[in-house]
Amino acid sequence: MAVSVDTVYQTVLSTLNKEQRGYVTPQEFNLFAEQAQLDIFEQYFYDINQFGRLSGNSTEYSDMLNILEEKISIFEAVPVAVVMANTGIGTLPTNYRLGNVIHTTSGVARIVEKLNKKDIQVLQMSPLTTPNLIRPAYTRTSETTIQLYPATIIADITCDVIARPTAPNWGYVMVYGEALYNATTSVNFQLHQSEEVALVEKILQLASLSIKDLQMYQVANAEEMQTSQNEKQ
């Protein structure tokens, strides 16, 4: 179940009002909401990478990974084909995070191992370890391209992809100068329902920074005007 964009916005407004920290317009909220959702989404992958480097109680880390994988599973999409060039370079679909890269040959699907360029160079020093059709590998060459090894792999490559979350939107209509919630034009957060508190906290952080910057600008502008008046006098 998605996190209600209206619930989050009302909680943010209530907190700001209670703590006398200012006000966030619907337009500002929508900007902060999109950034907050993306930050939390990207944090999933960072955490998975970090947990993979930890040693200790395997059950404890396994539980953490299972929770993260459950949250990510919401965004898993149908595997898509990688457009291959005759040099072994593949072009990835845009607006997705890359999951497993898969090579299918003679009806057998194999996960292509992701390596960095240094690892590839080391493996290629020996015919016993160099990537081949049975043990293929790839490196990420840019945000949208990968290099397959061996470079003779020029077809039958697919990849599991994880869709980036759609930007949330608190839709509204203006009635007598007041913004009223419009569910028809609104888009809820796509994150797991358990992220509601995290979203509120992160949006409050972003809002506080924005409000602080505005206050600093107003102070600086007032000082500049006072200086200008003093010079005229």
CA distance 124 to 102: 21
Q: Is residue 219 a part of any domain in this protein?
A: yes
- 68 burial class (0-12, 13-18, 19+ CB within 10 angstroms)? middle
Q: Is residue 23 a part of any domain in this protein?
A: yes
Q: What pLDDT sits at residue 171?
A: 98
On whether both 15 and 41 belong to a single domain, the answer is: yes
Q: Is residue 149 a part of any domain in this protein?
A: yes
Backbone angles phi, psi at 104, to 5 degrees: -110, 120
Q: Is residue 119 a part of any domain in this protein?
A: yes
On whether both 156 and 84 belong to a single domain, the answer is: yes
CA distance 199 to 43: 13
CA distance 89 to 150: 10
Q: Which domain holds residue 113?
A: 80-163
Which tokens belong to 25?
């317009």
Residue type, 145: T
On whether both 59 and 25 belong to a single domain, the answer is: yes
Number of domains the chain is built from: 2
On whether both 67 and 13 belong to a single domain, the answer is: yes
On whether both 19 and 36 belong to a single domain, the answer is: yes
Q: What pLDDT sits at residue 56?
A: 56
On whether both 139 and 154 belong to a single domain, the answer is: yes
On whether both 92 and 158 belong to a single domain, the answer is: yes
Residue type, 92: L
Q: Is residue 67 a part of any domain in this protein?
A: yes
Q: What pLDDT sits at residue 52?
A: 66
Sequential pLDDT tens for the chain (233 residues): 789 999 999 999 999 888 777 789 999 999 999 999 999 999 999 888 887 666 555 666 778 888 998 999 999 988 899 999 999 999 998 888 898 999 999 899 999 999 999 999 999 999 999 999 999 999 999 989 999 999 999 999 999 999 999 999 999 999 999 999 999 999 999 999 999 999 999 999 888 887 676 664 455 556 556 655 654 45
Q: Is residue 31 a part of any domain in this protein?
A: yes
Q: What pLDDT sits at residue 65?
A: 85
Strands 157-163 and 137-140: unpaired
pTM for this prediction = 0.77
Token pair 């909401």 is at which residue? Answer: 33
Q: Is residue 173 a part of any domain in this protein?
A: no
- Classify residue 76 by its DSSP letter: B
Q: What pLDDT sits at residue 225?
A: 64
On whether both 84 and 15 belong to a single domain, the answer is: no
On whether both 116 and 145 belong to a single domain, the answer is: yes
Q: Is residue 181 a part of any domain in this protein?
A: no
